[in-house]
Structure 1
Amino acid sequence: MPSKDNFTFPFTFKACSLLSALQAGACVHAHLLKLGYASDIYSLNTLLHMYCQCGRLDNARQLFDEIPQRSVVSWSAMIAGYDHNGYAREALGVFVEMLVDNVRADETTLVSVLSACTRCGYLNFGESVHAHAIVNGLQLDLISLATALVDMYTKCGAINYSLKLFDRMPDRNVLSWSAMIGGLAMHGLGKEGLRLFSQMIDAGIEPTPITFTHILSACSHSGMVEKAHKYFQCMRDVYEIEPTIEHFGCMVDLLGRAGLLDQAVDFIRTMPMTPTGALWRSLLGSACTHRNLDVGKLAMENLIDLDDCIPGDYVMLANLYAQVGQWEEVAMVRTMMNNLGVRKVPGYSMIEVNGVIHKFVMGDRSHPHTELIYQMLDDVVGISTHWIYEHENG
């Protein structure tokens, strides 16, 4: 008969994971080694998960490397741990190691891998995972796997493929519907997103707070102010969902995009919770877009009061002053940045071409094809300028 400690340790590590009790978990780990249970695979799997949940990926990786026979549950825990803590590329690296080790992935593994692909924008890698699932007989009618694929294709820019996949799903839950609605909103297809929401309600699916976040985002990206107010009110009145800071943030973003900055300020002031820095930052961005200096200064003052300023905030305020021709204030903001040691992180963009990720940093000319790239940009600018001239002059 197995000792009761074979069951005690896994449950204890699970409790430590739920409570993020790293120190207690580490003590139990030492106790496990002392009592000679270092080879118990169930205890090791839950211990690995505990370290990942607590953000101690160094300990998790060391433990993972020491496990002599790693099951799909150990591999999945390590992949999910990296992805959950923001190390998506490392998660994909572990998945490749897993394939080399001839361990067959299951649904849980692929959901984490697809999440990592989504974070990185690795469309080709995600397509390979999709193919891997089909080749290895994993049923794509599994809701969690199909939803992860829909989310990946959407966020990696393949919205048409995402829609086809969504339409082919035999069963959908609220997460599936919400992912597709959010994807349509992200691509500026707000009206289509609202249409899908109506279909979801007709299908008898109850919306969640996340669903309404996507709905309000769809309204925001399509400038549907009245509809957004309707859905915001509908949350409480029909579905008894109390709006969270995310929902209030969507409304502020919506009003800001529409140029209704005074309404956005009033909306913030009537919120039942303290506005976050992200919310004031959204208002600052809208103030810059619509050249509203008073609202921009108000947003910046609140960011400073919250001690939540980032370099980009100072840059936006300086740009706003420049837009209205207040050059002394531009110099003042630049001086403030220097005195505070604030340095703007250079902007960058990434694109995947034939499975290779190319990263372009502002002002960086280190790419091996820099000259060709800039020549192409010059050609595009030249063609655009010529077209505008011809269009304006008949």
Structure 2
Amino acid sequence: MRTIVALTCSILISAAPAVSQKLAANPPMGWNSWNHFAEHVTDEDVRSAADMLVSTGMRDAGYIYVNVDDTWQGQRDAQGVLHPNERFADMKALGDYIHSKGLKFGIYSSPGAKTCGGYAGSLGHEAQDAKMYAEWGVDFLKYDLCSFQSNMNKEKADHPDDPNAARNLMIAAYKKMGDALKATGRPILYSLCQYGVDQPWKWGPSVGAQMWRTTDDIDDSYGRMVTIGFSQAGLSKYAGPGHWNDPDMLEVGNGKMSEDEYKTHMSLWVLLAAPLLAGNDLSKMSDIDKSILMSKEAIAIDQDPLGKQGDRLYQSGDLDVWTKPLSNGRVAVGLFNRSWDNRDVSVDLADIGFKSGANLRDIWKQKDLGLHTGVFTDTLPKHGVTLLIVSK
């Protein structure tokens, strides 16, 4: 868990630039090395993940980014050029391999002097690193706050009368890399990883970003996953084509949650129009893992062209109902049971615009439920979910 610096922000950005909408018209999808491989990731692991995205059908389902997270970095030479370490012999060759599979290449750095893992960050080398990324064929940069928080703490201490000093320093640091990426002329999706510090959903577009973390790190546990997921209530107005809230990567397939819990995870993320970045070992997926990650109907909710993030309709104790507007007048509905017992969860169709009734489709059962009017109720197992498409 990284340390969070509590700040405030009053900048409001209402629309994403055209270049952002082109880069991320829909929530980005792909795979990231961190959740499973962490600091042990190698060139071979990443190439294997690219192969598996193709052979499993995940690429064709929309998972196109292959992102190398922290610990790929080696040392800078006398000219300041950053070289990869012994686990990554040739990043340009790795990028070429990923591109040969019809996939996109992602990488990781930090605005600080060091990354979370203690490797070289981009502080003072922003333009140099951005140029290098473009030469390598990078398509995605995850930029992680990490050690830059010490710079922010110093700035705050040095300017005790300016409550915005640390915030302004952070935003300037993220903008510096955003400008450097833009200057390369290569379209590189810019992902801010700063754990929701200072409400990035309000200023992320101004630094050239297409997505930004809204929370601290996820882990492969039901409690952490639902804490993060349900904390996204109220953020829907800040998301849309070219600018997406990011509640962190998927843990589906890492083995510490049940099937119902992983379905809850995937359901909540697609209702949130969240980026879908798988974080598991793709070579060891069960059929259940594949069915969750590659559910065409669930992915279609996330990628719906209307580009709306869902939000909470109501909460009653351990029961939640969330809705997401979809194209063609449809609505996605998630009924969630966070309790440890079987519970009935209901939604009044009139509350979501269907006073005269609607047709219901159960996504995980892959079953049409027919025409319903009034209140729809389903009995859910502990930590279970029913994900519906409601249409006239």
Instruction: Answer yes or no: same fold by TM over 0.5.
Output: no
TM-score (structure 2 length as normaliser):
0.25
Q: TM-score, normalised by structure 1?
A: 0.25
Larger radius of gyration: 1
- Structure scoring higher RCO (CA < 8 A, sep ≥ 6) equals 2
Whichever structure has more strand as a proportion of its residues is 2
